[in-house]
Amino acid sequence: MGYDVARFQGDVDEDLICPICSGVLEEPVQAPHCEHAFCNACITQWFSQQQTCPVDRSVVTVAHLRPVPRIMRNMLSKLQITCDNAVFGCTAVVRLDNLMAHLNDCEHNPKRPVTCEQGCGIGCSDTKIPKKREKMGWERADLGHSGVSGIFPFPTSHFSLPRQKRDIQLLKAYMRAIRSVNPNLQNLEETIEYNEILEWVNSLQPARVTRWGG
């Protein structure tokens, strides 16, 4: 599918518009005889229905398609386009041939990898962090005087002693993993009084319901 014409600065030559999607040509290809140009994705989808040119209905197949002339590629590359992340606050306007490079570095890109500010060395995109936390039932926690905070596998519901024990084991495994990534966290495990926590968990008694209703 082509680029939305509204994203471009100034007028766009009609020869640079895909006749199928009415957007500015993206990865353009050309029929050799009639020389009509299309987005590669658009014409590929069109050919799944019929083997003709969408404009003049002449017989064309995928094997007939050729790259567009260099002059057309140069015209496309010089177009000024707004960033894909304009909806997230980016105001940049770049040349079309520089768009991908800009997107990789755009600070407004929600899929840009975000490195943990606490130095654990783990990276994750902003869009995945809330989903990951919700899926796993993780909560944000501070580990005492270690100076480390982050997302850890503490369940938010369904309390039970066996699950508490399992989660403590998961926490220890998680700490071992992040210690291997960041040498600054070598003493992290020692900051957790594991035995005391386990003894406390074992001492808890399941709640008993002695009265129903109000």
Q: What does the block give as tokens for 23?
A: 């957007």
Q: What does the block give as tokens for 62?
A: 């995928």
Instruction: DSSP for the chain, please give it.
Output: --B-GGGBSS---GGGB-TTT-SBPSSEEE-TTT--EEEHHHHHHHHTT-SB-TTT--B--GGG-EEPPHHHHHHHHT-EEE-GGGGGT---EEEGGGHHHHHHH-TT-TTSEEE-TTS---EEETTHHHHHHHHHT-EEEE-GGG--EEEE---SS---HHHHHHHHHHHHHHHHHHHHH-GGGTTTGGGS-HHHHHHHHHH-----------
Q: CA-to-CA distance for 89 and 7, rounded, in angstroms?
A: 14
Whether the predicted pLDDT of 112 surpasses 90: no
Whether the predicted pLDDT of 145 surpasses 60: no
Whether the predicted pLDDT of 186 surpasses 70: no
Whether the predicted pLDDT of 25 surpasses 70: yes
- With both helix axes pointing from N to C terminus, report the angle between 161-181 and 194-203 in degrees, rounded to the nearest 10: 170
pLDDT band of residue 120 (cuts 50, 70, 90) is low
**pTM of this prediction?**
0.54
pLDDT band of residue 149 (cuts 50, 70, 90) is very low
**CA atoms within a 13 Å half-sphere pointing along the CA-CB vector of 155:** 13
pLDDT at 131: 52
Residue type, 38: F
In the chain, pLDDT over 90 holds for what percent of residues?
Answer: 43
pLDDT at 184: 59
pLDDT at 28: 96
Mean pLDDT for all residues in the chain: 76
Whether the predicted pLDDT of 153 surpasses 50: no
Look-up of token digits 């968990």: 201
- Domains of the chain as residue ranges with CATH: 5-78 (3.30.40.10), 82-108 (no CATH), 113-203 (no CATH)
Q: CA-to-CA distance for 214 and 212, rounded, in angstroms?
A: 7
Whether the predicted pLDDT of 122 surpasses 80: no
Query: What's the whole-number mean pLDDT along residues 124-137?
Result: 52
More confident residue, 164 or 57: 57
61-77 residue pLDDT tens: 888 999 999 999 999 99
| DSSP for residue 48 | T
